[in-house]
Structure 1
Amino acid sequence: MDIIKWTEKLMSMDEESWQRHANPWSVYSRFTTLPLLSLAFYSREWIGIYSFIPVVLALVWIWLNPRLFPPPSSTDNWASMATFGERLYLNRQHVPIPVHHQRFCVVLQTLSVIGLPFLIYGFYSLNIWLLLASNIWMMVFKAWFVDRMVWLYLDSQDDQS
């Protein structure tokens, strides 16, 4: 199962939300989602059962983010190209992408997911340092993956020239 395809379905992204998500404000603010969700789960240390409120708010932010900003006036930027590349990657079953991109993306996704058990254990044990380290680990590989999406998009543009 492709985790990115699964999350796209969960997010119910349509053409309009993808256009809005190409706004750099949407892309850059999207990097807040893991830390916000982590902080929300960790808040059970401070507010107990009421931590469900920040968790729900973080989940709402995750869903709302790609829909919040208007479509960008220009798409000649790293963030917009990353969004376009991600769409190409998600559509790779219908329109194949170069093998070197596909392999590297799988490696980056795998490296990112390696941080997930540590993140979960950090939530369970309320270990702030483990949470911080796993957030950094996962975000570094997510950022690298997003950068790879730019490369994929630029390569697809070269192929069309």
Structure 2
Amino acid sequence: MNAKYSQWNELLDEAKIAHNVKSDAALAKLLGKTRSHISAVRVGDKNLSIETAEKLFVLLGIDIDDYVHKIFMPIRNEKSKERLEPQIKELRAALLERSGGICELCEKFMPFCLPDGSPYTELAYIEQGASADKYQACNFAALCPNCHRQLDVLKNKADIKRLLTKIK
């Protein structure tokens, strides 16, 4: 079973538990679908529509944006990875030069170095960046692992604003 359908199964099961529903038929009724539709989604014969996915996320109290990339966006294949690798390397070099090995959020030195001696830096995409071309340094911040995770989890608007001011 592919990962996309496995994830749908997990979410469907979570919704059943959250609403104390015992069967897929009862869950289907909550979602405005038939039991056979839910079964087909579970085995990968049908896709869940955006509208039904939104209903499912509402049932679970989950922000759909947290799952959009995981479920609806195709997994990158090797060709796209190979195509983007030079851009990512160039971007990483530009961010290291701009940051000087210092986290652009906490302003401390990066916690460790790579085998080549360069500071380990995580690239954080800041959506409101200045360039329409996604892989430009003005759309990214050079962060230590702790700050990157903090930014991803908390989505603190003050931190994002501070980073946007720095990276422009």
How high is the TM-score relative to the length of structure 2?
0.22
Higher relative contact order (Cα pairs below 8 Å, separated by 6+ residues): 1
Q: Which has the larger radius of gyration?
A: 2
Query: Which has more strand, going by share of residues?
Result: 2
Tell me the TM-score normalised to structure 1 length: 0.22
